[in-house]
Amino acid sequence: MATLTYREAVARGIAQEMARDERVLLIGEDVAEAGGVFKTTQGLRERFGPRRVRDTPISEEAITGMVMGAAMNGLRPIGEIMFSDFLATCWDIVANQIAKTRYMTGGQIELPLVLRSANGGGSRFGGQHSQSVENWAMAIPGLKVVAPSTPVDVVGLMAGAIRDPDPVIFLEHKALFATKGEVPDGELVDVLGRATTVRTGSDATIVALAAMVPKAVEAADILAREGISVDVIDLRTLVPLDVTTVASSVARTGRLFTVEENPRLCGWGAEVASIVADECFWDLDGPIVRITTPHIPLPAADAIEDMAIPSADRIVETIRSSMQ
């Protein structure tokens, strides 16, 4: 058992799969000699060599095109898009080519590739470098979407994503890079599409993702001292979406709160709320409540950014007032 930071877990997960399968390669801006702008790929070039760990020009279109071509020719490439906001510059390749090739070729061409990217706010990077874009990717048929919250999940889900036959958008939250957690020794592989119940309760269910998970747990601890017992579910992946775990929790607790860093309009929580309303309506004891970032570009000013992104205090206040 080792204690790793979230950023170290990224490198561990990639290294595990590169050691296992020679078809796995990594490309992106500064991923090789510099070890990544967020230091998530340190040591990989030294271990696996410049043929399999390659720096690229500053061109997201080139990175996604190379990754797609490599996957079409039998490799299992990992491409890094430095900030998830920059997926916008290559979205045609991602949404119209990568996401649809397997379907449009009747399964004759698989694209077993991973596009990794640093996602989310809280780091004072401003509106063009702080977005949570998981709802962008979730809306495109043909893409799988992963967003882990802990180092152990980073390793296991990275392995699951690399081994998956479909293209996967793997979102690593910038605000979590320095967080630490225990990671077992040996090979770790998670199946995509399984949520985790990280805290058990009986009065309400909180569904969260990535950096919102520790905030939801903190809120649940505060609420427990007030006599409100809360289930906290870490979705971990949005596509596939683990409806079973969410629905079974809501059937026990009768109340659902989603905590999303996405802007409110068309966030993933709206889809979860819709599914629960359809499938668990008679189990609900109150309206479904979404706790979100407002529909605004994220500001760089620390106090205003903190006000915009859901906090443990806002989660507590929202649940407390809803349960009265």
Instruction: Give CA–CA dist 218/220, Å, rounded.
Output: 5
Residue pointed to by tokens 């595990």? 16
DSSP reduced 3-state for 144 = strand
Q: pLDDT at position 138, please?
A: 97
- Its pTM stands at 0.96
> Which structure tokens are listed for 314?
């806002």
Instruction: Give CA–CA dist 122/131, Å, rounded.
Output: 10
Instruction: Give CA–CA dist 84/231, Å, rounded.
Output: 30
Give the CATH number of domain 196-323.
Answer: 3.40.50.920
Strand 256-263 and strand 114-119: pairing? unpaired
Q: pLDDT at position 273, please?
A: 97
Q: Name the DSSP letter for residue 163.
A: H
Q: pLDDT at position 324, please?
A: 76
> Which structure tokens are listed for 195?
């949520």
Give, in order, the Cα–Cα distances in Å from 250 to each of 58, 193, 205, 321. 46, 18, 6, 19
Q: pLDDT at position 1, please?
A: 87
Domains of the chain by residue range = 2-183, 196-323
Q: pLDDT at position 244, please?
A: 97
Identify the bridge partners of residue 115 per DSSP, sorted by sequence position: 79, 169
Instruction: Give CA–CA dist 247/251, Å, rounded.
Output: 6
Residues annotated as catalytic are: 129
How does pLDDT run along the chain (324 residues), one tens digit per residue? 899 999 999 999 999 999 999 999 999 999 999 999 999 999 999 999 999 999 999 999 999 999 999 999 999 999 999 999 999 999 999 999 999 999 999 999 999 999 999 999 988 989 899 999 999 999 999 999 999 999 999 999 999 999 999 999 999 999 999 999 999 999 999 999 999 999 999 999 999 999 999 999 999 999 999 999 999 999 999 999 999 999 999 999 999 999 999 999 999 999 999 999 999 999 999 999 999 999 999 999 999 999 999 999 999 999 999 987
Q: pLDDT at position 206, please?
A: 98
The domains spanning 2-183 and 196-323 adopt the same CATH topology: yes
Give, in order, the Cα–Cα distances in Å from 54 to each of 29, 31, 84, 188, 279. 8, 7, 20, 25, 47
Give the CATH number of domain 2-183.
Answer: 3.40.50.970
Strand 76-83 and strand 53-55: pairing? unpaired
